[in-house]
């Protein structure tokens, strides 16, 4: 059995003080049944790490650079994250791809850098509404997965979490049906099986993300190939614990 993993992606929200207070409030409500991660802004990492210390909650970053150091103004390296005690990092979120031009090649470099530093990457894949309407969802997601895992060994691949997020469902209030989400996550697992074999595919955890709420989490997470969620707006609400403890 794969243990469910629910990660809250706070995006660009909350000051350090606000984040610490909210993280502590939420951490006190989280059970140990599932892995729970708060992915917070860089400015809040230290405060949130302190706030959740000794609880069942881990902390993740929302992005990182693939280089170890250098003249990359405004960027954060993997070593900077691990030096704080960060455990997870989101890689290739659709907003990073759309607004900052991140390609499959960049996602691959970041994934390798995260693994080398001992971080657990949450690698995001997903299609646009146009791609879904054209009927190329599976082909597109398969290509993204192959690009992200290029050159990564089977042993290293086991340490990666994949998040399937249909872009048309992120922040829109529109959620993929459980059947749609399961179909895509099953296809993702199929690609991993082709690359590394069934044993590795059965080990890797695949999340669903896209307007996950306390009302629909249970139906989504109970699908055989969905191992939790990458939750956006709902992770900032006071009932987020209902999702983590679904």
User: CA-to-CA distance for 202 and 221, rounded, in angstroms?
Assistant: 16
**Nearest Cα to Cα of residue 37 among 55, 21, 18, 25:** 55
Give the tokens for residue 237.
Answer: 């609400």
Catalytic residue (one of 65, 93, 95, 182): 93
List Cβ neighbours of 102 (8 Å cut-off, separation of 6 or more): 92, 96
> Is 14:40 a contact under the CB 8 Å cutoff?
yes
Give catalytic status of residue 93 as yes or no. Answer: yes
> Is 40:48 a contact under the CB 8 Å cutoff?
yes
Give the tokens for residue 36.
Answer: 């729970």
Give the tokens for residue 102.
Answer: 């991140």
Catalytic residue (one of 95, 102, 127, 165): 165
Q: Which residues are catalytic?
A: 93, 165
């Amino acid at each position: 059995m794969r243990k469910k993993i629910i990660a809250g992606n706070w995006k660009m929200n909350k000051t350090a003080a606000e984040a610490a207070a909210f993280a502590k409030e939420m951490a006190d409500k989280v059970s140990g049944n599932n892995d729970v991660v708060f992915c917070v802004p860089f400015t809040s990492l230290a405060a949130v790490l302190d706030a959740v210390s000794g609880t069942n909650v881990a902390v993740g970053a929302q992005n990182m650079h693939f280089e170890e150091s250098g003249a990359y103004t405004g960027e954060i390296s993997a070593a900077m994250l691990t030096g704080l005690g960060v455990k997870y990092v989101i890689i290739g979120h659709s907003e990073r791809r759309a607004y900052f031009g991140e390609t499959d090649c960049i996602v691959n470099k970041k994934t390798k850098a995260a693994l080398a530093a001992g971080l657990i990457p949450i690698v995001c894949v997903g299609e646009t509404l146009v791609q879904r309407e054209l009927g190329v969802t599976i082909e597109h997601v398969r290509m993204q997965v192959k690009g992200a895992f290029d050159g990564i060994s089977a042993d290293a691949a086991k340490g990666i979490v994949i998040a399937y997020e249909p872009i048309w469902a992120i922040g829109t209030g529109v959620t993929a049906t459980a059947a749609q989400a399961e179909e895509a996550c099953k296809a993702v697992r199929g690609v991993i099986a082709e690359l590394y074999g069934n044993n590795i595919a059965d080990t890797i955890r695949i999340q669903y993300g896209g307007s996950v709420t306390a009302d629909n989490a249970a139906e989504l997470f109970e699908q055989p190939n969905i191992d939790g969620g990458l939750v956006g707006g709902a992770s900032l609400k006071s009932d987020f614990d209902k999702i983590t403890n679904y």
